[in-house]
């Protein structure tokens, strides 16, 4: 069973613009970009595998904003 948590974060506008630009250029969702960045940070700090438990992506990339 896949369990996901919806979360609200407060990010600077300039950071969110960069994330959206990256997501658009990579044809990915904003969620997938943020998730990858968090996994990479945690893996670097804690030695957690980066590919562990990636969430599936559905629909058009623009819908992930």
Per-residue pLDDT reduced to its tens digit, 1-36:
677 888 999 999 999 999 999 999 999 999 999 999
pLDDT tens track for 40-52 = 998 887 765 555 5
Q: How many domains is the chain partitioned into structurally?
A: 1
In this structure, is residue 42 part of a structural domain? yes
Range of the domain at 37: 12-48
Can you tell me the distance from the alpha carbon of 56 to that of 47, in angstroms, rounded to the nearest whole number? 23
SS3 62: helix
In this structure, is residue 22 part of a structural domain? yes
User: Is the entire prediction scored with pTM above 0.85?
Assistant: no
Structure tokens at 8: 């609200």
SS (H, E, C) 2-60: CCCCCCCCCCCHHHHHHHHHHHHHHCCCHHHHHHHHHHHHHHHHHCCCCCCCCCCCCCC
SS3 65: coil
């Amino acid at each position: 069973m896949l369990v996901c948590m919806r979360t609200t974060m407060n990010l600077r506008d300039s950071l969110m613009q960069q994330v959206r630009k990256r997501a658009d250029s990579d044809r990915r969702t904003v969620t997938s970009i943020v998730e990858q960045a968090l996994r990479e940070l945690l893996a670097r700090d804690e030695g957690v595998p980066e590919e562990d438990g990636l969430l599936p992506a559905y629909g058009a990339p623009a819908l992930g904003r």
